Structure 1
Amino acid sequence: MSQRPDYQEHPGRGFPAGQPETEPDRSWLRRNRTRIALAALGVVAAVVAVQVTVDVTRSPDPVVAAEESTAADDAVAQPETADQSAAPTPSASGSTSPSARPSATKSPGRPKGDAAPPRVGNWPHPGNTGVPAGWRPKSTRTSDLVIERSGTVIEDLRLVNASIRVRAANVTIRRVEVQGGSIWASGPCRGLVVEDVSFIKSPGQVTTTKDSPVLGPGGLTARRVKVDGVPEGLRVSEKEQCGPMVVEDSFVRVAAPTTCDDWHGDGLQGYYGGQLTVRRSTFVLTEFRAAPCEGTAPFFYPGEQGNTRVDIDGLLAVGGRWYAFVLGTEGSVRNLMLPDGSNPDVKCALLSGWSANAVTIDANFQPTVRAPLTCRT
């Protein structure tokens, strides 16, 4: 800190020239005290004004800004080759009975790279997956939409008893609500991104054991997807034609169909599936009934059905009459969580890594670790 300048260099500031600093002219202070007080008040007012200006102009919280920016996205981008015809007859790729016994447009407000964390809470649940809270569609459709143009982006669409058939590469489907339908890829079967999408029953829908999976079969990334209340969840298949599938920050809950006989439902099933990666996702099968309407498993990827490989980093599997988690392929398992008392059915010798825990879960599917689970089969 610099020293205060010598008093003789500043006459008239309380230390008149020629008078020692230790004896200031106090009469000058008395004569000018009103002027000094007003000057001090002016300084205080200026500081307050500067602080208010800083607070008002400060940038908003980046997370809040990112969420608010999603409301300004463009309307549904309708591809030039959209097919307005009625729903086609389901193909073999959408069949629900293969299990043996079990049977680029930049997204506003979303960071680049890996999946964004769920919007609220910690572990994926119905409230932080699917279309955002307060979302409203810009368009509603009741007939199938067929996409045949690469790079197509579909946003803010509601489908009622209708599906999306993707026959092109690098398609993005974002903030779409599918009521009583599905999204199924074919043709190039690669580069499909499905994010913030909900699959639910349509009003008054009567579900059956013949209902198709809602999303598949590969060459896609499912991010913050919600599947809730339908008999079939995700299907990984057609590995000769489709690329890998990635599922991250998603919630899948399947329920027994309205009309139920021999139900083999799964949250996710592999049937001649390629490489599968799962990160931070929840799979639930709890609303089963007595045999034969009991479903298979929340997560079912056996080796006997021609599946290739699974790599998991964060998976909560809940429910299932027999097993909550079935895995019979090569791969790695980290951060698997099963409710306390559940047992996995796993080919342990095929895995390069294993870490799992028994947990308790609350009503919002938030897990609490109880004890480690050893891979024993």
Structure 2
Amino acid sequence: MADFLNDRLERIRASGTYRELPGTVTGVDFWSNDYLGFARLDNSKQPFAVARGATGSRLISGDRDEWNNLEKLAAEVHGFPAGLMYNSGYTALLGLLAALLTRTDTIIYDELSHACCRDGIRLGHAKSLRFRHNDLLHLRQRLSSVERTGQVFVLTEGRFSMDGDVAPLADIVALCEEFNAQLIVDEAHSGGLEGDNGEGLVAGLNLQDRVFASVITYGKAFGTHGAIVLGSEDLRAYLVNTSRPFIYTTAMAATQWVEIGLAYKKLGRHHSLQYERLRYNVRYFKEQFNGAILRNTVSANDGPIQTVMVPGNEAVMQVEAACRDANLLVKGIRSPTVPAGSERLRICLHAFNTSDEIEQLVAVLCENLPNFGRS
């Protein structure tokens, strides 16, 4: 699907600068950054590999066979050939886009794409074009207008972080195939949630063979920290060789790798029940607005991210404060994070919320929203 990566890798090999991860390496440590030995202070009689801290980048002293095996396991869970872990979702998208995009390439991205995507696009120096949120006709127009001097990429989220709605991935994939573009999907808010077992939207729609890259982050539904870029073996090798946020940073500590492994075990054991509880709570929340004059201010999506529109920075913070006074933690989203006039409360529902808690939240909203904006 993406032979251009193999061509780029061949040029790296020809230059004599090709990198490979070392896996577990034993011996007397003269290469890590563990200057005071604190990474293994409680394990001084144990082998080098059990250091708690990473001690260096994965290309030097921070790699282990166990970490490579966990990446393979994660790739299998999500249905991709390979994956590469990053310290966070932000650095994963930053590292992927900055490494992938060249000056001759073009990237077309949904206007509601996350800030880390926009930062990665800027670092990549490709020509960039926005398309209106989930607007397939506008995306088609953008794809039709691209001057083909390099690769063309399309970027979207699976489930969007601010509006909580879902991208029409199957239709976007079809457009990308029609125009020979490579699709990248940020699954920060759909990974661990969507699909039969939390594999994400791409896997849930069985689109892995038609998507160039998917980014799963572990700080949301997985309940831990870190991220993985999923794609082909060539993509993984290309990032190991060119992704500066991967190459030049200290690797994740052993505890973070362990937590990610445990998160996948939890996903296998508990996803079905917890997801059904979440779906019930989302339905229950929305049902509380039936018949209320405020029901049109609540988002129409069926996911855990629910928004209540409260235009104006001052107004949305007043309603946030009223919720805080009632011991209810919601977040007011102000411009310029969202466009002026579309300020909103961002409400995240969970499997563990109780019906009483949801009822209390709705009651506070119904009491305060009609008065928003008053001083």
User: Hey, which of these two has a bigger chunk of strand by percent?
Assistant: 1
Q: Same fold, TM exceeding 0.5? A: no
Normalising to structure 1: TM-score of the pair?
A: 0.21
Normalising to structure 2: TM-score of the pair?
A: 0.21
User: Hey, which of these two has a bigger chunk of helix by percent?
Assistant: 2
Rg (Cα) greater in structure? 1
Q: Which has the higher contact order (CA 8 A, sep 6+)?
A: 2
